[in-house]
A and B are shown apart, each in its own frame.
Chain A
Amino acid sequence: MRANTWAGRNKVKVRDVPDPKILNKRDAIVRITTTAICGSDLHLIDGYVPTMQDGDVIGHEFMGEVIEVGSGVPADKLRVGDRVVVPFPVACGACGACAAELYSCCENSNPNAGIAEKMFGHPVAGIFGYSHLTGGFAGGQAQYARVPFADVGPLKIESDLTDEQVLFLSDILPTGYMGAEMCDIQSTDVVAVWGAGPVGQFAMDSARVLGAAKVIAIDKEPYRLQMAERAGYTTINFEEVDVRSRLLDLTGGRGPDKCIDAVGQEATHGSAHVHAYDRVKQAVRLETERPHALRQAILSCRSGGIVSVIGVYGGLLDKFPSGAWMNRALTLRTGQCHVQRYMKPLLQRIERGEIDPTRVITHTLPLDEAERGFDIFKNKQDHCEKVVLKP
């Protein structure tokens, strides 16, 4: 089959690889109909996620048709012919973490748990196409994929919604939603979202449907801010104004009640000096993150507020504003999304028309043009917000 693979830093390559096979009894093989490039894939190609290997099939947002199931998948859970969206974390459904609905922390789904444990203190779940640290599972920017624990993760789509309407249930919609949910949003809340990429946009939509009084988008790309503005949100361009003072203006001096970091480890900073400082430290691996968005969110949030982090961090950061965090009674919440927890309720919201996930799609390309897709997405060319790939 054809598959998009990691071929070194800043290099992806679509190549021929063997078709996937059943390796465990509870596996299924899915023929992929639609897949996508995620912002977190950029961390892989920028080289900030360790343990990538030349030839790794990447991609963790995919859906398609079940063409084969293992002997351990009960027929009432999944059958050949089912149309499914596959959640990006691999989760067993039986361990303590899964019982607590903390699917992205599944204790059994990562065959390389020993390595993850060394890095993170405790192991994390397997993730499709996202390094060997998270299991070494081949990803979904391909024609076919092997899906372990197929009786637990995949969400069956039985209505006539299009692929584009439901594909993002695999990652970015639940991720954005979890970012908003962690904010315990009240009807009086002003919610500020750092990053107006696809996850940020969905965090904004989710804050809206959860009843926030006002939603503010912070980014530097005018076209991304326009996309947020069209959806009804207030915008701040951090290259044009000082974010903290603008946020104070917009909130009568209180600061946003809830802040969502939808940027993560490769933020750009408005001030070139600070950016250069973190960039250099990151380059020589003295820190793995450029956490400007997180620092700014913590400093901007009103006292007693919540800072919710859904942007990806992978290692160590410094200049963490612990003084602001502690003395102003802030709550910091975070996690890789526990996608399995949110798929069904969010599918219902899509069916009811409360959220339109297709609004972020700007490009649809054939899988063979994945390289170009990465290029325009990474370099924010051609007003690129979200690239969908068709195998």
Chain B
Amino acid sequence: MTRLAVREAANARQEEVQRRGRGLGWMSLGLGVAQLAAPDTVRRISGVDDSPTSRAVVPLVGARELVHAAGLLTSRRKSAWAWTRVVGDAMDLTSLGMALAHRGGRRRRRLLNVTGAVLGITVLDLLTAVQATRAKEMGSAQAVRGARRGGPMELTATTTVRKPPSEVYAFWRDLGNLPTFMAHLQEVRATGDRTSHWSASAPFGKNVEWDAEIIDEAAGEKIAWRSTGNADVPNAGTVRFVPAPDGVSTEVHVVLTYDIPGGAVGKAVAKYFGEEPHQQLDDDLRRLKQVLETGEVVRSDGAPWGKRARKEFPQRPAQPLSDSELAKGAAA
């Protein structure tokens, strides 16, 4: 796996952990509310309605569940909070075991049912806790932080455009077209047959400009380029145009590499790419497809600013823009 692929796998695992953790959080909330709001029902279902101790214990357990819920639902540190649930399960199982020793008949059957359910939940909690701890060890958070400190970042993305490779290639090879769909680019100007001057917009770092040269190309198939001279953010890219199996479309495969420096520029670039750097390139290619297939970047009332709507959310309400909003947006 490439470094990027490792990071992506770690991210995927982290997301799974976050999702499971939230699921457990909601369950805790449900159990907690039930135990606090209807303790007598819970005691009856559990077969401990004969014990005065349980009158005090059940709401206490409910309160504890709310603590689990709050932690699991609000904190990103799911591993620690999942382990608190495992500890809670152990306490519950101990109490249930003690209660079981003194019950018979209908109540014992109910207690056994509840104990079975708690055992099932315990297994789930254990699995999540172990998984969360492992995901933490894989260190996806550290990996993202690493990118912020600087170092190479490789992005890949692909899309299929319903136009022949020659046409898609020609559009891309006219480098002045790149800013129509690549959000961070302000202008690309050809300065020679294979050389060009690029400038990126403010969010990408203040007035970042650089020169680039095409280092390899095959008409209708491939273009590779890299920055030259003292670029603030040295970068390189390759785009391949591959005929799709349908015989009319083109698969566009893009690889971009940024050598992110430390310092202010590096920070701005890292901030621009955010937690999901590949999302930016995916969106760029979505716009490339829109421009080639429909003529321009598609706008809606909720997302009216075309490629300048770098982030899809938050967006404005889906209702027509006023004249002043329209004027302001057009100038921005």
- Which residues of B are found within 8 Å of A99, using beta-carbon distances? 162
Q: Cβ of A56 and Cβ of B319 under 8 Å apart?
A: yes
- Whether, in the assembled complex, B326 has its beta carbon less than 8 Å from a beta carbon of chain A, the answer is yes
The one of B282, B293, B303 that contacts A112, using a Cβ cutoff of 8 Å: B303
Cα of A111 to Cα of B315 in the assembled complex, Å = 11
**Complex interface residues of chain A between 85 and 113 (CB less than 8 A to chain B):** 92, 94-96, 99, 107-113
Considering the complex, which residues of chain A in the window 247-278 have a beta carbon less than 8 Å from any beta carbon of chain B? none
Chain A residues near B319 (CB-CB < 8 A):
3, 5, 17-18, 55-57, 138
Interface band, chain B: 35 or more
Indicate if B320 sits at the interface (CB-CB under 8 A): yes
Interface residues of B in 252-307 (CB under 8 A from A): 279, 282-283, 286, 289-290, 293-296, 298-304
Question: Residue B302 contacts which of A54, A72, A132 (CB distance < 8 angstroms)?
Answer: A132
Tell me which residues across on chain B come within 8 A of A126, comparing CB atoms: 298, 300
Interface string of A130-169 (1 = CB under 8 A from B): 0010011111000000101100000000000000000000
Q: How far does the alpha carbon of A20 sit from the alpha carbon of B325 in the complex, in Å?
A: 12
State the 7 A-B residue pairs at the shortest beta-carbon distance, nearest first: A136-B302, A55-B317, A111-B303, A20-B320, A56-B318, A23-B299, A18-B322
Tell me if B87 is interfacial: C-beta within 8 Å of chain A. no
| Contact across chains for B312 and A114 when beta carbons are under 8 A apart | yes
Residues on the A chain within 8 Å of B283, using CB: 114
Distance (Å) between the CB of A150 and the closest chain B CB? 12
- Using CB atoms, name the residue of chain B closest to A286: B26
Q: Are A26 and B300 in contact (CB under 8 A)?
A: no
B279 touches A114 (CB 8 A): yes
Least CB distance, B150 to chain A, in whole angstroms:
27
Question: With A18-B322, A107-B289, A149-B294 as given contacts, are A94 and B317 in contact (CB-CB < 8 Å)?
Answer: no
Q: Does A182 contact B (CB under 8 A)?
A: no
Q: B318 contacts which chain A residues (CB < 8 A)?
A: 53, 55-57, 129, 132, 136-139
Q: Are B30 and A108 in contact (CB under 8 A)?
A: no
Residues of A within 8 A of B (CB): 1, 3, 5, 17-21, 23-26, 51, 53-57, 72, 92, 94-96, 99, 107-115, 126, 129, 132, 135-139, 146, 148-149, 284-286
* A25-B296, A136-B300, A146-B301 known; A95 vs B289 contact (CB < 8 Å): yes
Which residues of chain B have C-beta atoms less than 8 A from A17's C-beta? 319-320
Digit string of B66-82 for contact with A (CB within 8 Å is 1, else 0)? 00000000000000000
Q: Is B323 an interface residue (CB 8 A)?
A: yes
Residue pair A24, B296 in contact (C-beta under 8 Å):
yes
Given contacts A24-B296, A96-B249, A139-B318, 16 further A-B contacts (CB under 8 A): A26-B295, A53-B315, A54-B317, A55-B317, A55-B319, A56-B319, A92-B290, A111-B298, A111-B300, A114-B279, A132-B312, A135-B302, A136-B302, A136-B315, A149-B294, A286-B23
A53-B317, A53-B318, A56-B317 as given contacts; A95 in contact with B298, CB under 8 Å: no
Q: In the complex the two chains form, is A95's CB within 8 Å of B320's CB?
A: no
Q: Write out the residue numbers on chain B whose beta carbons fall within 8 Å of the beta carbon of A57.
A: 301, 318-320
Q: How far is the CA of A21 from the CA of B317 in the complex (A)?
A: 15
Chain A contacts for B293, CB-based, 8 A: 92, 94-95, 107-108
Q: What's the nearest-Cβ distance from chain B to residue A137, in Å?
A: 5
A40 to chain B, nearest CB (A): 16
B303 partner, pick from A25, A107, A135, beta carbons under 8 A: A135
Q: How far is the CA of A138 from the CA of B315 in the complex (A)?
A: 13
Cross-chain contact B323 with A284 (CB below 8 angstroms): no
Contacts of A72 on B, CB cut-off 8 Å?
Answer: 295
Whole-angstrom CA separation of A28 from B289 in the bound complex? 22
Q: Give the distance in Å from the alpha carbon of A132 to the alpha carbon of B300 in the complex.
A: 9
* CB neighbours of A95 from chain B (8 A): 162, 289, 293
Of all chain A residues, which has the CB nearest B324? A18
Q: How far is the CB of A340 from chain B (nearest CB, A)?
A: 15
A24 & B30 in contact (Cβ 8 Å cutoff): no
- Is B298 a contact of A138 with CB atoms below 8 Å? no
Q: In the complex, A366→B283 CA distance in Å?
A: 41
| Interchain Cβ contacts under 8 Å between A and B, 20 examples | A5-B317, A18-B319, A25-B295, A25-B296, A53-B317, A55-B317, A56-B319, A95-B289, A111-B300, A111-B302, A115-B312, A115-B313, A126-B300, A136-B301, A136-B302, A136-B303, A138-B300, A138-B318, A284-B26, A286-B26
Contact status of A24 and B298, CB under 8 A, knowing A17-B319, A18-B323, A53-B317? yes
- How near does chain A come to B57, taking the closest CB pair, in angstroms? 25
In contact, A111 and B294 (Cβ under 8 angstroms): no
A149 nearest CB across to chain B (Å): 7
Distance in Å from the Cβ of A167 to the closest Cβ of chain B?
22
A136 to B296 Cα, complex, angstroms = 18
List the A side residues contacting B300 at CB < 8 Å. 23, 111-112, 126, 135-138, 148
Distance in Å: Cβ of B71 to nearest Cβ of chain A: 18
B161 CB, min distance to chain A CBs, angstroms: 9
Give the shortest distance, in Å, between B276 (CB) and chain A (any CB): 10
Of chain A, the residue at the smallest CB distance from B159 is A107
Nearest-CB residue, chain B, relative to A132? B302
Find residues 149-183 in chain B having any chain A CB closer than 8 Å to their own CB.
160, 162
**CA A233 to CA B246, docked complex, whole Å:** 44
Most interface-central of B30, B160, B290, B322 (chain A CB within 10 A): B290
Does chain A have a CB within 8 A of B321?
yes
CA distance A284 to B312 in the complex (A): 26
Q: Judge whether B124 is part of the interface by a CB distance below 8 angstroms.
A: no
CA distance A24 to B287 in the complex (A): 14
- A95-B162, A114-B312 known; A53-B302 Cβ under 8 A: yes
Contact B302 A112 (CB under 8 A): yes
Most buried by A among B304, B312, B319: B319
CB distance from A349 to the nearest CB of B (A): 31
Contact residues, B228-251 vs A (CB, 8 A): 246, 249
Bound-state Cα–Cα, A55 to B316, Å: 9
Q: How far is the CA of A231 from the CA of B317 in the complex (A)?
A: 42
B309 within 8 A of A: yes
Residues of B near A96 (CB, < 8 A) are: 160, 162, 246, 249
Question: Of the candidates B286, B294, B316, B322, which one forms a contact with A26 in the assembled complex, judged by CB atoms under 8 Å apart?
Answer: B294
Q: How far is the CB of B33 from chain A (nearest CB, A)?
A: 10
Q: Is B302 touching A21 in the complex (CB atoms < 8 A)?
A: no
Task: Enumerate chain B residues within 8 angstroms of A25, measured Cβ to Cβ.
Answer: 295-296
1/0 per residue, CB under 8 A from A, across B20-48: the answer is 00010010011000000000000000000
How distant is the Cα of A54 from the Cα of B249 in the complex, in angstroms?
40
